[in-house]
Amino acid sequence: MPSPRDATWPSHPHRLAALPYGGRSGGIAVFEGSFQRIALFGGVYNNYWALRAVIDDAKVRGADLILCLGDLGGFGPLPQRIVPLLQEAEIPTLAGNYDISVAEGFPDCGCGYSDPVDNYFAQISYSYTLDNTPPEQRRWLASLPHQARARLGDRWIHCCHGSPRRTNEFLWESGTSEALLRRFLTDCEADVLACTHTGIKWHRCVKTAHGAGDVVNVGVIGRPENDGSAVVWYTLLTAGDELDVEFIPLAYDYERLAEEMRQERLPEEFVETVTSGWWTTCLEVLPSKERLRGMY
């Protein structure tokens, strides 16, 4: 089997190949060439205004590759605006659990919640998103790769949604062992692993058999990260002798988003999160350390 470190594997940047890893994911995109600054974001959650802002901001900051790690729908209003903006800006996008569910018409979002209240609110978001995503956009979602690899200087970055082994695995800062992260880096033959899905960013350096690697949860742009601020976050990785990992706070027109959410009759609990910066729903999935940082 060709190696993920081989730049000719697969031979075309967007050509899909079988993953060298088990699990649900089914396709990997490899970007040829070497980039100097890569912007990464996940969890758009129908937030059109933050998506516009992150694309503009990453370009201004000199990103030569911008990657979306998936979960385009859920939570926010008017999902039909997201795919055209990603297509127009030519942002390579991975399928998150939400995108796989919407593409396939699954009965739920596959977010991985277990609490009934979490699932109640998740189902409202999912049904709304599924009902308002046009068929041609669902076909586009079905065509997306599930993981990606790119070179940043002389490092290999491996990108996934939840984890390399499962699209909806939560890699929390407090609950993920160094041994597991080391295993992911080794199995993916990567210097850096980038993920999202949890909604809260973090970065950890991990010792490996070959020296050291980095694991970065790049955060989400769809909703604030439960810290009492309305900003959302994305990540810039910059090549150099030392990898530079920078979390970027992103201001956007959240009042306009809140207004549209009310017009679409989405739950007021969702609107409160956008305007206050505190999570009000889907909280039970949080580990205790992350939960204690929040208001509820």
Applying CB under 5 A, which residues contact Fe ion? 71, 96-97, 197
* Distance of closest approach, residue 40 Cβ to Fe ion, in angstroms: 14
- For the CB of residue 43, give the shortest distance to Fe ion in the complex, in Å: 7
What count of residues does the chain have? Answer: 296
Of 282, 246, 251, which Cα lies nearest the Cα of 267? 282
Q: What is the DSSP string of 250-289?
A: E---HHHHHHHHHHTT--HHHHHHHHHS---SS-TTS-HH
Residue 182: strand pairing partners: none
Spatial neighbors of 294 by CB under 8 A, at least 6 apart, are: 226, 227, 278, 279, 283, 286
Could you tell me where the DSSP H helices lie in 132-253? Answer: 135-142, 178-187
Residue closer to Fe ion by CB (options 197, 203) is: 197
Nearer of residues 96 and 224 to Fe ion, judged by Cβ: 96
Nearest distance, CB of residue 219 and Fe ion, angstroms = 12
Read off the amino acid at residue 32: E
CB of residue 64 vs Fe ion: minimum separation in angstroms? 26
Using the minimum distance from each CB to Fe ion, give the nearer residue, 146 or 197.
197
Residue nearest to Fe ion (CB): 197
Output 109 or 243, the one with its CB closest to Fe ion. Answer: 109
Q: Which is nearer to Fe ion, 40 or 239 (CB)?
A: 40
Q: Which two tokens stand for residue 204?
A: 């950890």
As measured in angstroms, the least distance from the Cβ of 171 to Fe ion is 11
Give the burial string for 176-210 (b: 16+ CB within 10 Å, else e): beeebbbebbebbebbbbbbbbbbbbbbbebeeee
Smallest separation (angstroms) from Fe ion to the CB of 166: 11
Q: Which is nearer to Fe ion, 165 or 197 (CB)?
A: 197
Query: Which residues are within 8 A (CB) of 33 and not within 5 positions of it... i.e. 6 or more apart?
Result: 151
